[in-house]
Copies of this chain bind each other. A is one copy, B any other.
Amino acid sequence: MNYPGNAKKEYKKYTNYANRGMDLEVLLNQSNTYYLENDLAVIYKKPTPITISEVKYGAKERIITKAFFRTPSTLDYNGIYKGLYIDYDAKETKNTTAFPLQNIHPHQLEHMKRVINHGGISFLIIYMNNTFFYLDGKTLLDFCKNNTRKSIPYQFLLDNGIIIEQKINPRLDYLKALDKLYFKEK
């Protein structure tokens, strides 16, 4: 159920958090749990890629005592929705006029291209100016192909992205953007 009044309160709460990156992840994980529990989609965040260097044996379990973060070569989230493979990442910027493309690694763009070529759906969820946007991979790749700019103007997001509704449950109903683009529903 969607209570607009409460949703606004939740939204304010969100914007007050210090660690925005983590929060967007929390919102998406909660949304994906909702989708899973309501049998709407099967989508998970991938674990953080690390290289394990040292492991010790504790009393009850193995403990990793040295490990390093690796640069991900894919996107953070993937799964299946209405029979289609979906693959996306969550990005945010405090910049108010443009979304810097340095937020996306070149191999991540390459991955998005591959996914789309194989019949999957790839996209970004961008948090900017207190708004959550769905930006389809095809739109992003076209932008990168046709522009030499190193950032996407905010107006481009407003014109070509889809604003994601914030609700109580799911917190970010981003699958609605896919319905709009890929599944023409009443």
User: A residues bordering B, Cβ < 8 Å?
Assistant: 36, 39, 41-42, 44, 46-50, 52, 61-70, 73-74, 78-85, 87, 111, 114-115, 117-120
**Which chain B residue has the least Cβ–Cβ distance from A58?**
B68
Asked if B80 and A118 sit within 8 Å, CB to CB, the answer is yes
Residue among A52, A67, A70 with max Cβ neighbours from chain B (10 Å): A67
Which B residues touch A66, using CB under 8 A?
63-65
**Which chain B residue has the least Cβ–Cβ distance from A36?**
B114
- The 8 Å CB contact of A52, one of B48, B70, B81, B82, is B48
Count this chain's copies in the assembly. Answer: 2
Q: Evaluate whether A84 and B85 lie within 8 angstroms (CB atoms) in the complex, with A62-B69, A114-B42 already known.
A: yes
Residue among A79, A80, A120 with max Cβ neighbours from chain B (10 Å): A80
Q: Evaluate whether A64 and B69 lie within 8 angstroms (CB atoms) in the complex, with A119-B82, A119-B83 already known.
A: yes
14 interchain pairs, CB-CB under 8 A = A36-B114, A39-B114, A39-B117, A42-B111, A47-B47, A47-B48, A48-B50, A61-B68, A63-B68, A64-B64, A78-B79, A80-B85, A85-B85, A85-B120
